[in-house]
Amino acid sequence: MTSHVSAALAPGGDIPAPHIEYGQIMPILLVLGVAVAGVLVEAFVGRTWRYTVQVPLAFLGLAGGFAWTIVLGLRDETHAVAAEGALGVDGPTLFLQGTILILALVSLLLIADRGTGSFAAQAAALPGSEAEQRTTAAGIIQTEVFPLLMFAVGGMLIFPASNDLLTMFVGLEVMSLPLYLLCGLARRRRLLSQEAAVKYFLLGSFSSAFFLYGIALLYGYAGSVKLGDIAAEAGRDAGSETLLLGGIALLALGLLFKLGAVPFHMWKPDVYQGAPTPITALMASCTLVSAFGAMLRVFFVAFENLTWEWRPAMWGVSIITMIAGAVIAITQTDIKRMLAYSSIAHAGFLLTGVIATSREGLSSTLFYLAAYGFTTVGAFAVVTTVRDAGGEAGHLSRWAGLGKRSPLIAGVFAFFLLAFAGIPLTSGFTGKFAVFKAAVEADATPLVVVGVISSAIAAFFYVRVIVVMFFSEPEADGPTVVVSPATAAAVVLGLAATVVLGVLPQPVLDLAGHAATQMFVR
């Protein structure tokens, strides 16, 4: 082997050029290309024109990536390995990438609105220099948010498509590092945002280190970081079992951190509360989809022959995640922290689909991710519209009587909460029914029983918010509702998806089922 390398590197030696299937990975290239262009805009375009250039550029990049994903999905053959085997392009990957891109587009409506919508409208009511400070704090000059957003989305697209663990780690870092910065962009408005960014960075660094250590152990076991090679070695029962099980545990730890599963959830409430709400919407939807996609690829491809080893641990994580998320949410008085614990509980529900280890479990998880993502973006879009003199009205008591002040906004938010609770004729009910059905078919009925009980507990704090909004008297100095066109569009899209996926879910269920039949490639 050494002689071959020496010959290749010697003068006149031919080093074969890597073969890159650019068409297969074009959605990723478009998003990352726009991210690089956004950095150049920040460097060379004047401050007054940056916002005008950055917003259309970001929209075009995400829309172009989504359109290309549709084109790839319409092909007859969707089993492909690209970039020298580093990326897998198949049905589940394209479904996940399309979901991430469409959710990122809706989130971009909220992020772009930070300069022209509710923040600016609130600042306009302030006198003189105070208005100027508040407008600046709102993010008009923070146009660096757009290239950071595109880099984060690019990492989210790579993460679930990775066909080897090193590429997956690169995708994890490309996704995470911009998010650490995005969480702190409200630092001039409140120190809470800085605290959220530091907590997310420190805990995220620890989880990345565990993830990388898991990769090292699995490389020591299989002699390769490719998922297919690890699966082949595990199937032959070769190598040290200690390295294998240790690698699985550490790799799962890094993935469960991104999901916010208990006991790796402590960052989530603080970060959701401290980050700018549009960024929270992005993380709560797109990051969750990307992380679950990576988990599905790892456990359905690399560890498909080891279900008896990792399923019992996942049972425990799923149960404690569902119960802890639902119970702790009852004690929360901040809207965003409540939604954070709600997200933790939903991560537990989604894990039931992973534990099913079947095509039905895969397809139901894909559908649930899409349904939950739209509902989450819509809910956080509503949160951005309820404002008082100090900014967003985060405390639950400030929402008292909102149904009398603004019945339309309160009604829409109540509908999103009912969807989270899993009420019939909403996307939440269809998603939970699908993953629970797959779990029952995989002999995980006790897990479903815990899920149903947790859903009943969670319904309490959702209904509590509805009662506060509609059956409490509004305060004299209560918050006002400021809705701009971009925010209204995000709310309408989230509402429409929640209704359609609850009333007529079959087309998307069929799409997810078709994607699941084209299982992850190696």
Report pTM: 0.90
CB-CB contact of 82 with 24 (8 Å): yes
User: Tokens standing for 85?
Assistant: 């085997």
Contacts of 353 (CB under 8 A, 6+ apart): 361, 362, 364, 365, 368, 434, 435, 438, 439
Q: Please answer whether residues 207 and 190 qualify as being in contact, where contact means their C-beta atoms are separated by less than 8 angstroms.
A: no
358 neighbors 276 (Cβ within 8 angstroms): no
- Of 149, 190, 390, the residue nearest 281 (C-alpha): 149
Residues contacting residue 12 through CB under 8 Å, at least 6 positions apart: none
DSSP string, 250-276: HHHHHHHHHHT-TTS-THHHHHHHHS-
In 3D space, the residue among 497, 487, 493 whose CA is nearest the CA of residue 109 turns out to be 487
- Using CA atoms, how far residue 101 sits from 78, 89, 113, in Å, is 19, 16, 18
Confidence (pLDDT) at 189: 60
* DSSP per position, 18-51: P---TTTTHHHHHHHHHHHHHHHHHHHS-HHHHH
What backbone torsions phi and psi does residue 343 show, to the nearest 5 degrees? -65, -35
Whether the Cβ atoms of residue 148 and residue 181 lie closer than 8 Å to each other: yes
Phi, psi of 393 (to 5 degrees): -85, 90
Bridge-partner residues for 386, per DSSP?
481
Which pLDDT value is given to residue 188? 52
Nearest to 354 by CA among 98, 92, 153: 92
Residue whose C-alpha is closest to residue 138's, from 153, 118, 167, 155: 118
Place of tokens 């032959």: 236
DSSP state of 504: S
Give dist(CA 357, CA 132) in Å, integer. 55
The DSSP output letter for 305 is G
**What gap in Å lies between CA 288 and CA 228, rounded to an integer?**
24
Q: Are strands 480-481 and 386-388 parallel, antiparallel or unpaired?
A: antiparallel
- From residue 384, alpha-carbon distances to 109, 183, 417, 497 in Å are 12, 16, 16, 19
Q: Is 179 exposed, middle or buried, given 0-12, 13-18 or 19+ CB atoms closer than 10 A?
A: buried
Chain CA centroid to CA 227, Å: 23
Dist CA 278 CA 399 (whole Å): 19
Tell me the angle at which helices 335-355 and 427-441 cross, rounded to the nearest 10 degrees: 30
Structure tokens at 61: 């990049």
Residue 510, token pair as written in the block: 């069929």
Can you give the three-state secondary structure of 131-189, one letter per residue?
A: HHHHHHHHCCCCCCHHHHHHHHHHHHHHHHHECEHHHHHHHHHHHHHHHHHHHCCCCCC
* Helix, strand, coil percentages, rounded to 5, for the chain: 75, 5, 20
Tens digits of pLDDT across the chain (522 residues): 444 444 444 455 566 767 777 888 899 999 999 999 999 998 898 888 888 899 999 999 999 999 999 998 887 666 777 777 788 888 899 999 999 999 999 999 999 885 433 334 334 444 444 444 444 444 445 788 999 999 999 999 999 999 989 999 999 999 999 999 998 887 556 677 888 889 999 999 989 999 999 999 999 988 888 988 888 887 676 557 888 889 999 999 999 998 889 888 888 999 998 888 899 999 999 999 999 999 999 998 888 888 888 888 999 999 999 999 999 999 888 899 999 999 999 999 999 999 988 888 899 999 999 999 999 999 999 999 888 776 777 788 888 888 888 889 999 999 999 999 989 989 999 999 999 999 999 888 999 999 999 999 999 989 999 999 988 877 777 778 888 889 999 999 999 999 999 999 999 999 998 888 877 666
Yes or no: say if 429 and 306 are a contact pair by the CB < 8 Å rule: no
Return the structure tokens found at 194: 């800085």
Residue 179 one-letter amino acid: L
Is residue 312 within 8 Å of 249, Cβ to Cβ?
no
Terminal-to-terminal C-alpha distance of the chain: 25
